[in-house]
Amino acid sequence: TYAYLTKGVCNARVEFDEETLKPTFEISIGLPGKSCAFIIAQKLGLALEVVSQAQSFLPQEKIKADSLIEKIEEDRKLIKKEKNLIEVAKEESIKIRDKLEKKLNKIEENKKEIILKTYQEAEKILKETQSKAENMIERLNKKKFLSKESKGPLLEQMQAISKEIKDEIVKIKPEKELIKNQNIEIGDYVLVKSLNKKGIIVSISTKSEKCKVQIDNMKMLISIFDIEKVDKLNKAPEKYNHIGNGFDRGFSGRDSFSLSKIKTFRNEISIRQLTIEEARPVLEKYLDDAYLLGVSPVYIIHGKGKGVLRDEVKKMLDKIPYIKSFRTGDTKEGGIGVTVTYL
């Protein structure tokens, strides 16, 4: 009672084994201890009549309190036991969950592998069928079984059928992580299958599963599932290295630009008077051209101001894969108003 009524005091007891008549040295906080004198006396051989008579002298409040403490103790032990059972069940459920996850992952991997093999096999069959059909038409043409007038429509019909088959194949295209055999990178030569055109990859977005491909003088956003790596283009493009105020022509393979564009291209761009929204597409186009021309470094003039445009430029450069590095300009280059960018 004292502990319950006095602030800063709580009950505690050392557990006692009534069978062995020895303390367990397990401390219980929050419950008062109960007297085990009658149990010990009985265990030691004192006559039951004597023990019973002694118990009859106890006040009813004491007997009720001991009974209540005993009931609380039984409930506490039961809760502890159930808690242990719950912990064991929880551990078992975690093990079962982990096993199921492993099995599901294995099933998913097998599913992806089957889809990939089906996709590759379908493409292979389509290419073989196209090749056989073209060879057959060519042989018929050589043997003059086909007239020039009938050859054109026949080829068109064959191409239309091929397109229909391609559209069906695209429906079973594997996810991006399955296209591991391509290992596409910026600067790779690729064939855009839907257009039957070759070009060079200038940027890749794994998030949108698209890449930007330079075909002749045009840049196109193409699905990564619509491209196929090739060894080289029919005509090797040229690279122009920046030297002084002009360009030194040398072989690279990134792109081929018109001579007029090469002569007028500058290794600096000013976006000082533009807002962030206006500057972003302008700068992106400029950097793409600089990369394809092999111009490095380039000087982005954004001005000093409050540094908002400068910070946005750096964020943008961080996201462009072909940017090797960039730094703030030194005093001669324009200081913090210029970002020197290496491609």
pLDDT along the chain (343 residues), means of 10: 79 81 81 77 84 81 74 82 87 84 78 73 74 70 60 64 64 50 73 81 77 76 81 46 33 42 74 87 85 83 88 89 88 90 90
Where do runs of H (alpha helix) occur along the chain? Answer: 2-5, 37-43, 48-56, 60-142, 148-170, 259-264, 276-293, 308-319
Would you say residue 134 lies in a domain? yes
Shared-domain flag, residues 225 and 298: no
Would you say residue 246 lies in a domain? yes
Domain closes at, from 143, 170, 197: 170
Shared-domain flag, residues 222 and 242: no
Shared-domain flag, residues 245 and 335: yes
Shared-domain flag, residues 159 and 219: no
177's CB contacts (< 8 A; 6+ apart) are: 112
Shared-domain flag, residues 137 and 223: no
CATH number of the domain encompassing residue 276: 3.30.1370.110
Shared-domain flag, residues 245 and 292: yes
Shared-domain flag, residues 323 and 242: yes
Would you say residue 266 lies in a domain? yes
Would you say residue 147 lies in a domain? yes
Residue-level length of the chain: 343
Shared-domain flag, residues 292 and 323: yes
Shared-domain flag, residues 126 and 221: no
Would you say residue 41 lies in a domain? no
Number of domains in the chain: 3
CATH number of the domain encompassing residue 209: 2.30.30.140
Would you say residue 51 lies in a domain? no
Would you say residue 220 lies in a domain? yes
Shared-domain flag, residues 245 and 336: yes
Domain closes at, from 170, 195, 213: 170
Shared-domain flag, residues 155 and 203: no
What's the whole-model pTM score? Answer: 0.31
Would you say residue 57 lies in a domain? no
pLDDT at position 203, please? 82
Count of CB atoms situated within 10 Å of the CB of 174: 18
Residue 265 burial by CB count (10 A; 0-12/13-18/19+): exposed, middle or buried?
Answer: middle
pLDDT at position 341, please? 92
Q: How far apart are CA 79 and CA 127, in angstroms?
A: 71
The range of the structural domain enclosing residue 220 comes to: 183-229
Shared-domain flag, residues 242 and 335: yes
